[in-house]
């Protein structure tokens, strides 16, 4: 049974309770340790009633005194103090964890959702386990009634990290090479990127498959011409902000790749994907992926693609995809790959210049951009805002890849698309730009007409739709 909480859509500052209590601080001599959430859940009082798993808390023990930090969601640095007696740890009800313009907040306990009580845990010192006996642990603005902003339901914390949340750590002396991945998402759109892969005997380490946590690794096993990656490998936790913690895992089914050492390629059939713990929502999806080792050589890059020119409230946006392979399908070195946009006006083709006057995060005018360039404002790896004053006069927009492998500079064919501002008329475009229609895309950068289940990018921010 879960505690019913409701959202009060009025200013809570008028009802703020100010505290005369002092914040708890563990003594400097106490050893602060990370303990992991292995059972129970934290529920945040939000319009959607979001469940948010706190991956861990901090515990400090000083004789028979025990201190906990992290039970509060809004004041996660606040500590509470308890007393250990045998196999029981008891924390007095109503301890202050923080105070802001809305008032003070406290950690409280309740078993019947009506009466507040002290918070009690079963304590196993030998195994390092704290298991809540009190049904609900509240973060509240009052110490006299049940009125939580958020609450825990029967949590258990362990000194030992659970098996499914142990992050893979690559050996310190692991030698890695850059590999390029090519695949399709579930809508048939191309998915391209770069991975780091290292071999340590028969152990294979792969980094970069989870775009939300690109530094995370998974580990596989090489057996002849087969590389197997077990399912449910843990990438880590990403904090999306106010209400959301999301943990990312490799697909439960795992993946088996056919490995061709002579050709420096590995490939898998079917779908592999990244999912979020608890909800099992899919994020990154790779269908029939082919992974090729990057070997530097002179090469001509494959023609890039512009999938759409979208006129948003913040200005026209060009969605594009750069191939990580050349015209022969061989992988290119990411640091040698760049791109430029071109414009055609009165049948004259010139490069597009992006100047600091229009793009405040740039320190100098730019024409050519390195692969993966982003500033999290106007430039992203798969789409770019256009703010040039003469944009509406462009008849066509072009995109060209540039590759400087092995000392040669070669350019791809130009991919052209008609400029909708020119062909449809500027008045129509400006009318669209004044709308409140949000910009929605998937993690690969493909435009969506509406949010889909899983990870979306809405107006530049990652949002999970259940």
Please indicate, yes or no, if residue 234 is contained in any of the structural domains.
yes
Mean pLDDT value across the chain: 84
Residues 23 and 137 in one domain: yes
Please indicate, yes or no, if residue 440 is contained in any of the structural domains.
no
Please indicate, yes or no, if residue 335 is contained in any of the structural domains.
yes
Please indicate, yes or no, if residue 445 is contained in any of the structural domains.
no
Please indicate, yes or no, if residue 454 is contained in any of the structural domains.
no
Domain ranges, residue 253: 167-293
Residues 197 and 274 in one domain: yes
Residues 144 and 171 in one domain: no
The residues near 453 (Cβ < 8 Å, ≥ 6 apart) are: 281, 282, 465, 466
Which segments of 376-446 are extended strands (E)? 383-385, 396-403, 410-411, 415-418, 440-441
Split at pLDDT 50, 70, 90, the class of 400 is: very high
Residues 271 and 335 in one domain: no
- Answer whether residue 257 shows pLDDT above 60: yes
* CATH number of the structural domain spanning residue 199: 2.40.128
Q: What are 62-112's pLDDT values in tens digits? A: 999 999 999 998 898 999 999 999 999 999 999 999 998 888 999 999 999
pLDDT at 149: 85
pLDDT at 432: 38
223's enclosing H/E stretch is strand 217-223
The residues near 433 (Cβ < 8 Å, ≥ 6 apart) are: 311, 312, 313, 315, 316
Domain count of the fold of the chain: 3
Residues 122 and 224 in one domain: no
Residues 347 and 373 in one domain: yes
pLDDT, mean of residues 316-325 = 90
Residues 259 and 339 in one domain: no
What is this structure's pTM?
A: 0.59
């Amino acid at each position: 049974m879960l505690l019913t909480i409701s959202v009060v859509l009025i200013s809570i500052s008028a009802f703020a309770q100010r505290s005369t209590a002092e914040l708890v601080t563990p003594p400097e001599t106490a050893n602060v340790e990370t303990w992991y959430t292995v059972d129970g859940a934290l529920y945040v009082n939000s319009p959607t009633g979001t469940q948010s798993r706190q991956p861990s808390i901090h515990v400090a023990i000083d004789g028979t005194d025990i201190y906990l930090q992290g039970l509060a969601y809004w004041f996660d640095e606040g500590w509470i103090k308890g007393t250990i007696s045998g196999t029981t740890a008891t924390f007095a009800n109503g301890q202050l964890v923080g105070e802001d313009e809305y008032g003070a907040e406290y950690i409280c306990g309740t078993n019947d959702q009506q009466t507040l009580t002290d918070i009690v845990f079963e304590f196993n010192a030998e195994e390092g386990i704290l298991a809540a006996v009190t049904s609900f642990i509240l973060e509240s603005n009052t110490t006299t009634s049940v009125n939580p902003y958020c609450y825990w339901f029967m949590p258990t914390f362990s000194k030992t990290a659970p098996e499914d949340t142990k992050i893979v750590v690559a050996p310190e002396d692991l030698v890695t090479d850059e590999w390029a991945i090519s695949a399709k998402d579930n809508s048939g759109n191309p998915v391209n990127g770069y991975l780091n892969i290292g071999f340590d005997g028969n152990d294979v380490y792969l980094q970069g498959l989870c775009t939300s946590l690109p530094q995370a690794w998974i580990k596989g096993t090489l057996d002849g011409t087969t590389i197997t990656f077990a399912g449910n490998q843990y990438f880590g936790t990403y904090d999306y902000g106010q209400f959301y913690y999301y943990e990312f895992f490799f697909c439960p089914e795992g993946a088996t790749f056919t490995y061709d050492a002579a050709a420096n390629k590995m490939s898998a059939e079917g779908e592999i994907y990244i999912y979020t713990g608890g909800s099992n929502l899919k994020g990154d999806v790779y269908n029939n992926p082919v992974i090729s080792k990057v070997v530097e050589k002179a090469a001509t890059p494959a023609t890039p693609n512009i999938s759409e020119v979208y006129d948003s409230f913040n200005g026209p946006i060009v969605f594009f995809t750069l191939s990580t392979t050349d015209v022969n399908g061989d992988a290119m070195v990411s640091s040698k790959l760049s791109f430029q946009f071109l414009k055609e006006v009165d049948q004259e083709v010139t490069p597009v210049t992006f100047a600091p006057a229009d793009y405040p995060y740039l320190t100098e005018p730019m024409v050519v951009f390195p692969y993966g360039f982003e500033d999290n404002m106007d430039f992203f790896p798969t789409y770019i805002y256009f703010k040039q004053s003469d944009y509406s006069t462009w008849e066509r927009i072009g995109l060209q890849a540039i590759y400087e492998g092995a000392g040669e500079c070669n350019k791809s064919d130009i991919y052209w698309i008609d400029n909708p501002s020119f062909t449809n008329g500027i008045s129509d475009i400006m009318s669209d730009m004044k709308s409140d229609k949000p910009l929605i895309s998937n993690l690969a950068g493909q435009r969506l007409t509406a949010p889909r289940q899983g990870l979306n990018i809405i107006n530049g921010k990652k949002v999970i739709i259940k």
